[in-house]
Amino acid sequence: MSSQSNSKLLTHACNTLLANKKIRYVCIIDKMGKLVFEKQQDGIDLLIPDGKSRSLYMKSVLQVSLQKEFDKQVGILMYNISHRTNIDMISIPIFGYVVLISVNPHENCDAIANSAIKIFEEILKKT
């Protein structure tokens, strides 16, 4: 499948998620911590400057990787949630990537994560 087709599918998945106004930002990171795709709500401040975002991506991938080491003993890692004062962050390992989602604080991160998993499973199966 062409990268243009992949981009359209990912744009569709992110737009579907971002229809939920509680979601601020969605990105896809490869296993090396490199940003593959991103989309955000119009008019929001990402809170993390571009110079620091690479570090966030690498740490998210590393955290998921370290936790996946225990999949055999305690079950497959579905997602991680980091609750912060200003935002909540959800990291979802899926098909060799990490989907990182920032949401407004105190939202139902479990519902958002499960919805994102369903959307990305459908989209990424097509790529």
- End-to-end Cα distance, the chain: 6
β-pair partners for 27: 38, 100
Of 16, 38, 35, 34, nearest to 25 (Cα)? 38
Overall number of domains in the chain: 1
| pLDDT tens per residue across all 127 residues of the chain | 345 566 788 788 888 998 999 999 999 998 898 988 888 888 877 666 566 778 888 888 999 999 988 999 999 999 999 998 989 999 999 888 899 999 999 899 999 999 999 998 887 676 5
Task: Identify the pLDDT of residue 74.
Answer: 94
Task: Identify the pLDDT of residue 22.
Answer: 92
Parent domain of 69:
3-124
Cα dihedral sign, 48-81-69-77: negative
CATH number at residue 41: 3.30.450.30
State pTM to two decimals: 0.86
For residues 124 and 14, the answer to whether their CB atoms sit within 8 Å is no
Q: Which amino acid is at 55?
A: S
Q: Fill in the DSSP letter of residue 101.
A: E
Cα dihedral sign, 50-54-59-64: positive
d(CA 94, CA 104): 23
